[in-house]
Structure 1
Amino acid sequence: MTIRAVRGATQLEVDEAGHLLERTAELMQAVLKRNDLTSDDVISIFLTATPDVRSAFPAAAVRALGITDVPLMCAQELDVDGAMPRVIRLMAHIETARARDGIRHVYLHGTTVLRDDLAEDDE
């Protein structure tokens, strides 16, 4: 097994706790599914939110999925003029047999523009 990083992002329609938790859980589940992972394959997860997101910690959504024994950290993205609003980003360190170019990064709800070189068309 090799340690790799997988990236992802999702955009919120509104900054409300329930919506944030739903979208973050959807993102985490998609990362696991698209990369044939279980929570046992996850080493750590780093989550960020744009400065306009204040309703909840994205890590709470991951914990609610039952991923309770993986180190998680939340942080705020840089407040850059013109940046896409209400975005949750994720970077998970994983153990996998996949080659680096076999990692499937996940960009949902309009965030493909953040990394169109990594994103897939199957939102």
Structure 2
Amino acid sequence: MIRGIRGATTADRDDEKEILLSTESLLKEMILHNNISAENVASVFISATHDITSVFPAKALRGFEEWKYVPVMCMQELDVPHGLSRCIRVMIHYNTSTHQSDIKHIYMKNAVSLRPDLKK
């Protein structure tokens, strides 16, 4: 069965290095805490708010050699009033037998405010 694993983080500024480091850190935590093997990933969607323009956050995943063939897509997040700025969201579609309630969704930096109900 395919499950969605959510994650989000923020970047301190719209800077390529900062965005890639923030995204890489989030992805590593998502992979680690959910024991994800790239071979079992169907796809990854990465969105960024309108104030991130210096780099595609998906570039961070391209540095993971074993993820070379995983389909990844970047998109722009909706520009909602009072939304979290410089936010990067990730959705990994993963083939797993893990129960939905046991999936570990990862929220880092200022993005912890997005889903306090999932904080364990």
TM-score w.r.t. structure 1 length?
A: 0.93
CA distance in 2, matches of 1:15, 1:98: 36
| Equivalent residue, structure 2, for 1:115 | 115
Distance in 2 between residues matched to 1:19 and 1:105, nearest whole Å: 22
Mapping for residues 1-123 of structure 1, pairs under 5 Å: 2-66=1-65, 67-120=67-120
In the alignment, residue 25 of structure 2 is paired with which amino acid?
Answer: E
Segments of 5+ residues of structure 2 without an aligned counterpart are none
Distance 2:31 2:118 in 1: 16
d(CA) in 1 for partners of 2:117 and 2:42?
25
Note the C-alpha offset of 1:119: 3.0
After TM superposition, the runs of 4+ consecutive aligned structure 1 residues lying more than 6 A away are: none
Tell me if structure 2 keeps the 8 A contact 1:9–1:88.
yes
Native 8 Å contact 1:25 1:65 kept in 2 = no
The SS at the match of 1:117 is helix
- For the 8 Å contact 1:9–1:90, the answer to whether it is kept is yes
Percent identity over paired residues: 38
CA distance in 1, matches of 2:62, 2:2: 22
Count of residues paired in the alignment? 119
Please state whether the residue corresponding to 2:118 is helix, strand or coil.
Answer: coil
Question: Which whole-Å deviations, capped at 9, do the CAs of 1:37-69 have from their partners, x for residues lacking one?
Answer: 121121100000000000100111001122210
The AA in structure 2 aligned to 1:99 is H
